[in-house]
Structure 1
Amino acid sequence: MDIVVEFEGEGSGTAELTWGQRDVWDLMRRTGRTMNIGGTVPAAPGETVAHLAELLRFIVSRHQALRTRLVPVDGGPPRQRVHASGAIGLELVEAGPDPEVTAEALRVRYQTRHFDPFGEWPVRMGVVLDGETPTHVVLMYYHVIIDGFGIDAIVRDLAHLGVAAAPVAGVRPLELAALQQEPAALRQSEKALRYWERQLDRVPAVPHPAAADPGHGEPRHWEVVCESPALALAVRAVAARTGLASGPILLAGYAVALARVTGSPTAVVQIVVNNRFRPGFGEAVTSLRQFGLCAIDVGMPFDEIAARAWAATLGAYKHGYFDGTAATRDLEAWSCYLNDRRRGTDETGGEAPTPEAIRAARAAGNLHWGGREDTYDGTFYLHVEDEPGRIVYTMWGDTHRYTPAAIEQCARDLETAVIDAALAPATVDA
């Protein structure tokens, strides 16, 4: 059952896809993945369907991205069209005997079903009801239109619910599409692409081996999941010694692991760049996420690898805003990715953990196989998640290029590299 929620907002018109939108559109076309983003939250005490319907009306009315549908173009990528008004459904689902199970089933349905970008609004919202009482709210977004940092901006903007006159912060999709056609943005794009070329020119392409049995009858891409309290402590220890943040330390561990599995003296990693640090982009509700390139030499003490990872990260962020359709280099040989999804990490600061504490924490770690999918992006894809008291990461590997054993070892080597560096700083890695 649906409730129809009418909306009306400021701004309408048609424009080209922005650079971030086009990146995700091409990725989805290439892999066939839905890439829908969102999740489930328990309903607040006293929550009502009427209030949730008003919340849906508010976010769609207020944000151009959520009033956007794509327009097909013969022989080319679609364009985006922002509508001034319309109506969207709020789905109501009976909780049944177990509201959490019902909410998870709704989330999976929203997650796995492709959006119709030409006929569906880019947000799905469902409410699980126990009688008339909401127990859970499920929200899912079409990733071409908005990225995870854009969702964060929507959440922050909920402070203006009921204050219709409050101005909307951050660049809007139509404005961004126009800005990216201006000379300053095109110069930025050309500069970024030249940087990518320089980095790749110094890196020898390492042919990926075929797996021992690529026809094993299983889905091609396998996931390894690592839950590691020891890694969280080790990162803090290395951070206390080097003064580096946790991100480049984890990137250094990933670089060591990739170098070991590929045999290359230089690890090439494409990292997710949110681009919200650019002027006017901080509160943007749109898709600004693109990739930045890190080429990191290994075969030296870990602290130096971590310092190089930090410098590479700065370069990647500076040159992670560009028109990907203008790129001339085939990146297939360097398709290893890192998506650090953490917000407000706590792995740094305070006293450095002792070696005894790190060693003791290793016994509490857990590494196991996770999901398997026919399509994914890249040879290796590392995701790092928020978890109190531990670091949780998932590594997807392509079994048509590396054996499952090699993929598992790569995941283990990341953890081992950082822990060994914390316990024996003089160790030379890779």
Structure 2
Amino acid sequence: MEIVVAFAGDGGGVEELTWGQRDVWDLMRRTGRTMNIGGTVPAAPGETVEHLAALLRFIVSRHQALRTRLVPTGAHTPPRQEVHRSGEIAMELVAAGPDAEVTAEALRVRYQTTHFDPFGEWPVRMGVVVDGERPTHVVLMYYHVLVDGFGIDAIVRDLANLADPSAPVLGVRPLELAARQREPAALRQSEKALRHWERQLDRVPPRPHPEPVDPGLGAPRHWEVVCSSPALALAVRAVAARTGLASGPILLAAYATALARATGIATAAVQIVVSNRFRPGFAEAVTSLRQFGLCVLGTDAPFDEIVARSWAAMLAAFKHGYFDGAAAGRDLEAWSCYLNDRRRGTDDPAGEPPTAEAIRAAQAEGSVRWGVREETYDGTFYLHVEDEPGRIAYTLWGDTHRYAPAVIERCARDLEAVVIEAALTPATVGA
């Protein structure tokens, strides 16, 4: 069953894709992945279907990105975006059945794995699991070309204005941003960023791919290793206390070292996801601003030195992670190891650093298992880091046609082992 929700908002028109939108569009075209983002939340006590319909009307009316459809331009050119001033969107109602949580998860998986029709579908799906007339769960999924994870956070913060729809909408809007990116200042920023990329790529040694590997199982090509480690969280705190640096560069240093061990190449090249939300007017923008920055660092040094190199490389990557990828002189995807740190709060807890005994004891509480396998993914190795209380949770995707499953698993385990070794033995050498 569906409820049709009418919406209307300020602003409309047709523009080119922004740099961030174009990056995600190209990535989805190249890999075939849906890349839909969103999730499930339990319905609040006393929630009603009518209120949820009003909430959907509010967010779509307020935010241009959610009133956008793409406009095809030809087989070999990227589409344009069209923001509509009004329209109608459906909110799906699904009967809870004997287990509302199971029903909600099935709905989330369906929304997650079903490609959006960007030319005929609005870029948000909202489904409500109902027990009779009582909502039990709400599932929301967004089309990633038009909204990124930080854009979803901005939507959630804007719900504070639900009682006052006339409140100003904060942050740059997609049509404005697309026009701004053709201005001289933005083009100079892009050119400067691309020159930085060129300099970094020149530092990368030749990276011949190993002979293709056949796992012999007839399985999809890309395999996921799922890890959860309280010991890693404690070890990161210990290294952070010693180096004075945050967990982000420590994890990048560990990942680079693990990659060097897996590939046999001491200089690691890692593309990191850059939110770009630190730029003026971008923090509250509901759009897709994420792009990649490139970190190139040697791992033939004590771990603390690798961490310092990672910090410097990350700062440069953030600075130069806003650019027109279509203007790149080289194929930036050729350097295909990635890191996406999805955590929102990455500051290490205050207080005394953990003891060696606590770190060793926590090692027994971690877990490593094989997860999902997919035929297409992005890159040779792709590390995602997630929020998890008291632990660092991470997944590592590996291409089994380039590295054997045992090498991929070893790389995932090495990420934890490198930091624990560094916490317990400060003079640890990287690769």
For Structure 1 versus Structure 2, the TM-score category normalised by the shorter chain is over 0.9
Q: Which residue of 2 aligns with 1:29?
A: 29
**Contact 1:208–1:262 (CA under 8 A) maintained in structure 2:** no
Greater CA deviation, 216-225 or 341-350? Answer: 341-350
Q: Which residue of 1 aligns with 2:234?
A: 233
1:31-50 counterparts in 2 under 5 A? 31-50=31-50
**SS in structure 2 at match of 1:428:** coil
- 1:136 corresponds to which letter in structure 2? H
- 1:316 corresponds to which letter in structure 2? A
Greater CA deviation, 292-301 or 324-333? Answer: 324-333
Deviation at 1:331, TM superposition (A): 3.4
**Contact 1:207–1:333 (CA under 8 A) maintained in structure 2:** no
Q: Which residue of 2 aligns with 1:429?
A: 430
1:221-260 counterparts in 2 under 5 A? 221-260=222-261
Matched, 1:154 2:155: yes
How high is the sequence identity, in percent, across the aligned residues? 80
Deviation at 1:212, TM superposition (A): 3.6
Q: Which residue of 2 aligns with 1:403?
A: 404
**SS in structure 2 at match of 1:372:** strand
Deviation at 1:296, TM superposition (A): 1.0
What is the alpha-carbon distance in structure 1 between the residues aligned to residue 203 and residue 225 of structure 2? 31
What is the alpha-carbon distance in structure 1 between the residues aligned to residue 200 and residue 347 of structure 2? 32
Deviations 1:77-98 (A, max 9, x none): 1000000000000101110000
Deviations 1:178-231 (A, max 9, x none): 010000000000000000000110111211213442664110000001110000
Q: Which residue of 1 aligns with 2:92?
A: 91
- 1:363 corresponds to which letter in structure 2? A
**SS in structure 1 at match of 2:382:** strand
The two structures have a TM-score, normalised by structure 2, of: 0.98
Q: Which residue of 1 aligns with 2:193?
A: 192
| Change beyond 3 A, Cα 1:332–1:119 | closer
Deviation at 1:347, TM superposition (A): 3.6
Q: Which residue of 1 aligns with 2:344?
A: 343
Deviation at 1:307, TM superposition (A): 0.5
Root-mean-square deviation (CA), in Å? 0.9
The two structures have a TM-score, normalised by structure 1, of: 0.99
**Contact 1:233–1:347 (CA under 8 A) maintained in structure 2:** no
What is the alpha-carbon distance in structure 2 between the residues aligned to residue 415 and residue 205 of structure 1? 27
Deviation at 1:346, TM superposition (A): 5.5
Matched, 1:367 2:361: no
Deviations 1:134-184 (A, max 9, x none): 000000000000100000000000000020221000000000000100000
What is the alpha-carbon distance in structure 2 between the residues aligned to residue 268 and residue 349 of structure 1? 32
What is the alpha-carbon distance in structure 2 between the residues aligned to residue 401 and residue 21 of structure 1? 29
Deviations 1:372-414 (A, max 9, x none): 0000000000000000000000000000100001100111111
What is the alpha-carbon distance in structure 2 between the residues aligned to residue 76 and residue 119 of structure 1? 18
Q: Which residue of 2 aligns with 1:18?
A: 18
**SS in structure 2 at match of 1:300:** coil
Deviations 1:314-343 (A, max 9, x none): 000000000001112123442000000001
What is the alpha-carbon distance in structure 1 between the residues aligned to residue 174 and residue 351 of structure 2? 41
What is the alpha-carbon distance in structure 2 between the residues aligned to residue 122 and residue 331 of structure 1? 28
**Contact 1:211–1:403 (CA under 8 A) maintained in structure 2:** no
**SS in structure 1 at match of 2:112:** helix
**Contact 1:206–1:333 (CA under 8 A) maintained in structure 2:** no
What is the alpha-carbon distance in structure 1 between the residues aligned to residue 15 and residue 301 of structure 2? 49
**Contact 2:269–2:294 (CA under 8 A) maintained in structure 1:** yes
Deviations 1:9-37 (A, max 9, x none): 00000000000000000000001000000
1:202-351 counterparts in 2 under 5 A? 202-213=203-214, 216-345=217-346, 347-351=348-352
